């Protein structure tokens, strides 16, 4: 049996970051930069005020206080977006709004709160009718002035190639005036369910049939981690039907099938792969999701299309996705961090490990009094998808430990943490 790490390693070896594409800024959220971004601007472009107040020469207000205010003549009015018309000299001031450029001569902005602005307004004066103002406090020189280039200086490297674009990076790019950006494109992942027993949701169920849930959970996981699912429906348990679906899957960057990888009579994914691709069938030392197929199909133009054959049981399919497919998607997206976020938690139930595999137990993680606690979601059968729906983490019992007991500490991979695999509809 292969270890989880060996299986992950062999799969990851088959994937590389995809080529760049140019995208409108907002659509690039969650994608990775393929170029260094150097600023062609100073931000802010001019020294400006960080408060609504009065632009002054510090020397003119030094020592001011309530009992000894300094009176200045108001010579102008500046709003954000305007350019100064007059210089401030000793004894004068310009009334200035947040974001407006500091007029020549001024070095300090006194906020309204430190003046008699409000008393004057209370007497019915409009803002433009205030012709003199009293400064009631000595604030320090340079207060409330944001220097030119305080955030970004022209010529500076602002974002490095390889940066994941989050809302803040999208904002930084916009502040530089960019409306498009070069990023690693998103991988297209084809999804084929296999099984004669399957029907698509939305139809009345026939006797003996079940609904195809794997295609939906798997396609949702592809979306969540930033890929583009290509939904190819259901193939029956026969080669003809499989071959037809496969044709449509070979223009994708990766092909996923579910079911047909165990040892039953109709488990024909393996026959298909043996006839058309290079394939390895693995038993991975994990529970659930022991049976896994991994291979490569020859695609169009000499391309090789990696295939992962997920197990059919709904929980196994999702756990195999988290451990084997998710890292491959993130690698294609150009991410560096491929591990799932993990916490140490106190177990509240025992985890049994009868046959030396790594157990991924569905768990509900809570955070109480600074510690994490993990309790299991109930029956851990690999067909019980509702117990996966209850879980927000996978508690991991190592291969060589036959039983973990309540009260011990356990590693839990978090399923629902905001992660680097930030998904957005492409």
Q: Is 213 in the site for ligand AMP (CB under 6 A)?
A: yes
Task: Using DSSP bridges, classify how beta strands 254-258 and 304-310 pair: parallel, antiparallel or unpaired.
Answer: parallel
Total Cβ atoms within 10 A of residue 379: 10
Tell me, what DSSP letter sits at residue 290? -
The binder of 313, among ligand AMP, Mg ion, none, by C-beta within 5 to 8 A per type, is ligand AMP
Quote the least distance from Cβ 269 to ligand AMP, whole Å: 8
Q: Is 235 in the site for ligand AMP (CB under 6 A)?
A: no
Helix (H, G, I), strand (E, B) or coil at 8: helix
Q: Is 314 in the site for Mg ion (CB under 5 A)?
A: no
Q: Is 195 in the site for Mg ion (CB under 5 A)?
A: yes
The binder of 101, among Mg ion, ligand AMP, none, by C-beta within 5 to 8 A per type, is none
Report which residue's Cβ sits closest to ligand AMP. Answer: 312
Q: Strand ranges (DSSP E) for 8-142?
A: 20-24, 37-38, 48-49, 53-56, 70-78, 92-96, 108-111, 132-135
> How far is 238 from 75, CA to CA, in rounded Å?
87
Total Cβ atoms within 10 A of residue 335: 22
Q: Is 349 in the site for ligand AMP (CB under 6 A)?
A: no
Contacts of 221 (CB under 8 A, 6+ apart): 318, 321, 322, 325, 326
Binding positions for ligand AMP, 267-286, rule CB under 6 A = 267
Q: Strand ranges (DSSP E) for 371-422?
A: 371-376, 393-397, 403-404, 409-414
Binding positions for ligand AMP, 288-327, rule CB under 6 A = 311-314
Among 35, 107, 138, 197, binds ligand AMP (CB under 6 A): 197
Q: Is 353 in the site for ligand AMP (CB under 6 A)?
A: no
Q: Is 262 in the site for ligand AMP (CB under 6 A)?
A: yes
Torsion of CA 98, 101, 107, 108, to 10 degrees: -10
Among 39, 163, 214, 413, binds ligand AMP (CB under 6 A): 214
The binder of 57, among Mg ion, ligand AMP, none, by C-beta within 5 to 8 A per type, is none
Q: Is 259 in the site for Mg ion (CB under 5 A)?
A: yes
Among 51, 96, 198, 222, binds ligand AMP (CB under 6 A): 198
Contact stretch for ligand AMP (CB under 6 A) within 83-91, 261-269, 270-278, 298-306: 261-269
Question: Which among 288, 254, 285, 289 has a CA at the least distance from the CA of 11?
Answer: 254
Task: By CB under 5 A, name the binding residues for Mg ion.
Answer: 195, 259
Give contact residues for ligand AMP (rule: CB under 6 A): 193, 195, 197-198, 210, 212-215, 258-262, 264, 267, 311-314
């Amino acid at each position: 049996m292969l270890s989880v790490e060996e299986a992950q390693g062999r799969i990851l070896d088959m994937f590389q970051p995809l080529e760049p594409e140019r995208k409108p800024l907002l659509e690039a959220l969650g994608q990775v930069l393929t170029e260094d971004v150097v600023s062609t601007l100073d931000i802010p472009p001019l020294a400006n005020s960080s408060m609504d107040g009065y632009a002054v020469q510090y020397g003119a207000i030094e020592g001011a206080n309530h009992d000894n205010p300094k009176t200045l003549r108001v010579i102008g009015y500046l709003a954000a977006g305007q350019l100064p018309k007059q210089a401030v000299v000793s004894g004068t001031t310009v009334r200035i709004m947040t974001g407006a450029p500091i007029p020549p001569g001024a070095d300090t902005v006194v906020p309204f709160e430190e003046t008699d602005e409000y008393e004057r307004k209370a007497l019915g004066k409009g803002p433009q009718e205030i012709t003199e103002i009293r400064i009631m406090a000595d604030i320090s020189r340079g207060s409330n002035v944001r220097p030119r280039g305080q955030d970004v200086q022209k010529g500076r490297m602002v974002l490095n190639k390889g940066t994941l674009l989050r809302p803040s990076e999208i904002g930084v790019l916009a502040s530089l005036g960019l409306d498009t950006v070069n990023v690693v494109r998103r991988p297209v992942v084809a999804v084929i369910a296999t099984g004669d027993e399957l029907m698509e949701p939305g139809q009345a169920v026939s006797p003996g049939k079940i609904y195809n849930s794997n295609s939906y959970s798997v396609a949702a996981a592809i979306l969540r981690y930033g890929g583009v699912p290509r939904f190819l429906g259901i193939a029956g348990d026969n080669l003809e039907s499989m071959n037809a679906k496969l044709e449509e899957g070979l223009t994708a960057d990766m092909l996923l099938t579910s079911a047909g990888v165990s040892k039953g009579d109709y488990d024909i994914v393996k026959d298909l792969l043996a006839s058309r691709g290079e394939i390895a069938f693995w038993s991975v030392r994990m529970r659930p999701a022991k049976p896994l197929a991994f291979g490569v199909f020859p695609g169009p133009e000499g391309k090789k299309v990696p295939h992962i054959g997920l197990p059919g049981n709904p929980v196994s399919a999702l756990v195999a996705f988290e451990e084997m497919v998710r890292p491959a998607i993130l690698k294609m997206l150009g991410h560096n961090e491929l591990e799932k976020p993990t916490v140490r938690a106190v177990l509240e139930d025992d985890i049994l490990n009868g046959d030396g595999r790594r157990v991924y137990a569905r768990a509900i993680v809570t955070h109480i009094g600074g510690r994490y606690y993990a309790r299991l979601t109930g029956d851990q059968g690999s067909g019980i998808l509702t117990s996966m729906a209850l879980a927000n983490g996978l508690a991991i019992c190592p291969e060589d430990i036959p039983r973990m007991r309540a009260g011990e500490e356990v590693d839990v991979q978090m399923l629902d943490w905001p992660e680097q695999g930030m998904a957005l509809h492409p």
